[in-house]
Amino acid sequence: MKLLDRHRIIMFDEIALQSSLLYNNKCDVIDGFQDNGCNNRYPLFADKAMVFVARGMSKKWKQPLAYYFNQGGMKPEVIATCLKAVIREVTSIGVNIVACVCDQANANAKAIRMLYDKTNRNFVLKGQENRNFGFVIDDKEVVPLYDAPHLLKGIRNNLYENDCRFKWRNNKVERVSWSDIRTLYSLDEMMKNIKCAIS
């Protein structure tokens, strides 16, 4: 691969499952219980799966890497452990993971904070200043990013439920609310030749 094609992003998200059990004849185990890999199986019916996917940065492709079954959602410390394991495995074949992308679920955000905190502690122990934007795994920085559609949805939900205040020109405090968006759309409807809002 060209050097640019080796730069990848790891995406991870949790999906809901319908609980069921299946006998896996090849491995002589019953699938459908909580399983976080490395023989961490528990007698709990899995109703969620955490899926890790690699995506190219210069070429458009996606490759599923790993999935883990859980009951009620994966715990933050387990997400952090699995994310590190996935990044290490992919890095071991010569791929450069530069970022990870997830939504802002509490467990995901806490897992990212845990990885940040561990990176900061390691720099403090070495007596160095941490100048990274992301967390470090095996001396390589991985920048965490939040999924843009979920960020926009969160902004919309916040705006719908609360007025937002911000400083604008000359440090004057301004206010924006959901009624401002309604006003924009109603004005846009009255315009015949020029449209400002997308419907």
Domain at 122, CATH number: 3.30.420
d(CA 10, CA 53): 6
For residue 16, what pLDDT is reported? 94
pTM above 0.75, yes or no: yes
The contacts of residue 150 (CB under 8 Å, 6+ apart) are 103, 104
Residue 156 within a domain: no
- For residues 19 and 66, membership in a common domain is answered with yes
Residue 196 within a domain: no
d(CA 178, CA 4): 43
For residue 57, what pLDDT is reported? 84
Q: Over 80: is that where the pLDDT of 198 sits?
A: no
In this prediction, residues 97-125 reach a mean pLDDT of 95
Domain that holds residue 16: 4-147
Quote the DSSP letter at residue 168: -
Q: Over 70: is that where the pLDDT of 120 sits?
A: yes
- For residues 128 and 95, membership in a common domain is answered with yes
- For residues 124 and 44, membership in a common domain is answered with yes
- Span 20-65, pLDDT tens digits: 999 999 989 888 999 887 667 888 999 999 999 999 887 888 999 9
| Residue whose C-alpha is closest to residue 50's, from 28, 74, 86, 22 | 74
For residue 186, what pLDDT is reported? 84
In this prediction, residues 183-194 reach a mean pLDDT of 79
Residue 197 within a domain: no
Q: Where are the beta strands (DSSP E) in 127-188?
A: 135-137, 140-146, 164-167, 173-176
Q: Over 70: is that where the pLDDT of 12 sits?
A: yes
Residue 135 within a domain: yes
Residue with tokens 């959602």: 73
- For residues 125 and 177, membership in a common domain is answered with no
pLDDT band (50, 70, 90) for residue 97: very high
Contact 49, 68 (CB under 8 A): yes
- For residues 93 and 186, membership in a common domain is answered with no
Please report, for residues 143, 150, 156, 172, 187, the alpha-carbon distance to residue 164 in angstroms, rounded to integers and kept in the order given: 28, 18, 11, 14, 22
pLDDT band (50, 70, 90) for residue 188: confident
- For residues 16 and 92, membership in a common domain is answered with yes
For residue 191, what pLDDT is reported? 76
- For residues 105 and 177, membership in a common domain is answered with no
Residue 53 within a domain: yes
- For residues 43 and 119, membership in a common domain is answered with yes
Residue 60 within a domain: yes
132, HSE (Cβ side, Cα atoms, 13 Å):
23
For residue 199, what pLDDT is reported? 54
Q: Over 90: is that where the pLDDT of 89 sits?
A: yes
